[in-house]
Structure 1
């Protein structure tokens, strides 16, 4: 299996169609529940099986919950820094403390007149730049529960991938996703925060376009495209956190979601 970062440009075979479907019948996940086993049970109950080349996109919240990456805000004590920052953006100081704990730096704090609560843009410990260091209250099990990112989303993706591969006896890919906002564009979309075997980026520089011109900068963010498309079926209130893609042409490799992060030296706005 090759290293994605070292993959040479290649012509990806044309895909005329693909399938994309939900894994139905999954439970509400709690800490210490076996995510892989529940995916297997749900597929079996539907008479489904995974096939060679299938890619699963999994919402990080079910991964976080099963791994215990959750915080009860009632058990959090806010520091002086958290209290001062909370006053600036009108947030609960305890939530701000969790955001600080998950961050390497606060990129910007914003107090918005049109909304009661302001916004913290932070650099997460994993390197992602996102709102509130991805600390979220949606789909929490109770009022005051905060859900954080898994400690190591790539490892989580690989553990799930290997369990499913062993059961279904085929090579698979897994993308762990989260929902991020986007600079200069409204709305949110799912992005990849953890990968197993799935290329982060498909390097096409050196290939030719349809008119025979050499591609010089083209590198589709394959994993992010999968994550973004999964949102069409995943929904926020549908309780369908696992989406399967079938029929795509891709090459398994040693991948990491960190390969999507732009190097600091290329950051024009830092």
Structure 2
């Protein structure tokens, strides 16, 4: 579908939102004040943060980790930065994102943290229906936007956390490209593109929580599938765990568990080889109660591991687990082709 041109209009002048504020009325007043009265076919993009504020979705900011845990379905990856632990999780709200979307920025003069709506699509529908009833319009899209990072890309971008009245996906599979070649996998995430376009005028620190996207063909008369339909989890999720977490999970140490805390969490900063070796050893020995690993230094200065076990079978198991655990830490190990039945020495190198 060809779009001749879009206009993105920021809605400035919206006051700090508090619980039970009439958000639809404030949005309509801001549109009027900015000469941007809503018309049929518009898509209104609203920061999910102001929706959460109007709903009073606050949690105690003194222990943010408790709020994150309460909003987490499963942990995907976790890293520490000093004393702070950051987790990428599947949030109760739907998306996979850092800290389940629990946020301490742009929270006014409060020290509490703000939570995402539990059902963002329902909140988008509720806002849209109120706006339609108030204005008499018949075709209006509403997108609740939030911010997150993406696999394989630096930086953050806005995406559709919730949506109503928007064709969230433009599925081009089964069609052809400009050269007539079949399209087999292309499906545009339109709702995310609308959220990102609005963010170009909303900004992150400008106190502009909403924008109107005008000229788009993607506003529809019915509520639509909602943004949760864009969340990819289960068998179709190629990023179900971080690289290190996938390795550790295979060895019985999944992220977000006491076992993961026991063996240690990787840092976001570059770490000494000794720290990474220590974590790998702790992971490898979790299922091998009668084995041991002494960490020393080879003549070349590389870490050297002397592995002992009660039986040749257990020795082989521990060595295999060490190889996998070290690989997850970005390290490799030289295993001698022949070794005694009760002990073996392994030299660790950078992979």
Instruction: Specify the TM-score bucket, using the shorter chain as the normaliser.
Output: 0.7 to 0.9
Residue 123 of structure 2 is aligned with which of 156, 166, 177?
156
Distance in 1 (alpha carbons) for counterparts of 2:27 and 2:239: 41
Alpha-carbon displacement from aligned partner over 1:34-77 (angstroms, at most 9, x marks no partner): 11011112222334321111001110000000011112335xxx
1:37-52 correspondence runs (5 A): 37-52=25-40
Q: Aligned partners of 1:45, 1:187: CA distance in 2, in Å?
A: 33
Matched, 1:266 2:274: no
Give runs of ≥4 in structure 1 deviating > 6 Å: none
- The CA deviation at 1:142 is 2.8
Counterpart CA distance in 2 for 1:47 and 1:17 is 19
Match of 2:81 among 94, 106, 112: 112
Query: Displacement of 1:181 after TM fit?
Result: 1.1
What is the CA distance between 1:95 and its match in structure 2? 0.7
Listed as ranges, the gaps of 5+ residues in structure 2 are: 241-351
Q: Separation in 1 of the partners of 2:58 and 2:73?
A: 19
Number of aligned positions between the proteins: 237
Q: Deviations over 1:83-104 (max 9, x none)?
A: xxxxxxxxxxx21011000111
Given candidates 62, 65, 69, the residue that maps to 1:100 is 69
Identify the residue that residue 215 of structure 2 maps to in structure 1. 247
Alignment gaps of 5+ in structure 1: 1-11, 75-93
For residue 189 of structure 1, what is the aligned residue in structure 2?
Answer: 157
Instruction: Give the alignment of 1:189-208 within 5 angstroms.
Output: 189-208=157-176
- CA gap 1:151/1:215 in 2 versus in 1, 3 angstroms: same
Shift of 1:198: 0.6
Tell me the residue number matched to 1:178.
146
Residues 124 and 212 of structure 1: CA distance in aligned 2, closer, same or farther (over 3 Å): same
Match 1:238 to one of 206, 211, 226: 206
1:19 is aligned to 2:7 = yes
Scaled by the length of structure 2, what TM-score is found?
Answer: 0.64
Q: 2:185 aligns with which of 208, 217, 231?
A: 217
Displacement of 1:129 in angstroms is 1.0
State the shift of 1:117 in Å.
Answer: 3.2
Q: Is 2:79–2:85's contact at 8 Å kept on the other side of the alignment?
A: yes
CA contact (8 A) 2:93 2:120 kept: no
Shift of 1:251: 5.4
Match of 1:126 among 88, 93, 103: 93
Alpha carbons 1:49, 1:168 under 8 Å: kept: no
Aligned CA-pair RMSD: 1.6
Of residues 137-146 and 189-198 in structure 1, the stretch that sits farther from structure 2 once superposed is: 137-146
Q: Which has the higher contact order (CA 8 A, sep 6+)?
A: 1
Q: Is the contact made by 2:9 and 2:36 (CA closer than 8 Å) also made in structure 1?
A: no
Q: Provide TM-score, normalisation by structure 1.
A: 0.83
